[in-house]
Amino acid sequence: SQQGEEDPQALSIQEGENATMNCSYKTSINNLQWYRQNSGRGLVHLILIRSNEREKHSGRLRVTLDTSKKSSSLLITASRAADTASYFCATSRPGNTGKLIFGQGTTLQVKP
């Protein structure tokens, strides 16, 4: 069963603008990860945030985690056309075998 749900399903912005994607999940987690997928290609890991962390940065990426609301957000600042892709959150649950459970993703289009 899918754990994470991304919102919005699709997002279209102009180059230079910021893009925010949200992920909600249902059960306790060990960590939450964000991945990017260019059309039809493999997923690329972006960032991992552990359940005891609230915010993490990596370059133009900023991820927040609110375990009380069971939600996370991914912010891409100063977006570029090359950021056009689908973005997925994935959760890892305590006591689980360690597998990742993916949401259905947000499709981001950045217009030049």
Partner 1 sequence: EAQVTQNPRYLITVTGKKLTVTCSQNMNHEYMSWYRQDPGLGLRQIYYSMNVEVTDKGDVPEGYKVSRKEKRNFPLILESPSPNQTSLYFCASSTSGGWTEAFFGQGTRLTVV
Residue in the block written with tokens 């890892």: 92
Q: Which is nearer to partner 1, 45 or 111 (CB)?
A: 45
Contacts of 44 (CB under 8 A, 6+ apart): 35, 36, 37, 38
Q: Which is nearer to partner 1, 79 or 92 (CB)?
A: 92
Q: Binding residues for partner 1, per CB under 8 A? A: 1-2, 30-31, 33, 35, 40-45, 48, 88, 90-93, 96-105
- Nearest distance from residue 77's CB to partner 1, in Å? 22
Q: What are the structure tokens assigned to 57, written together?
A: 């940065």
Residue in the block written with tokens 């997925």: 88
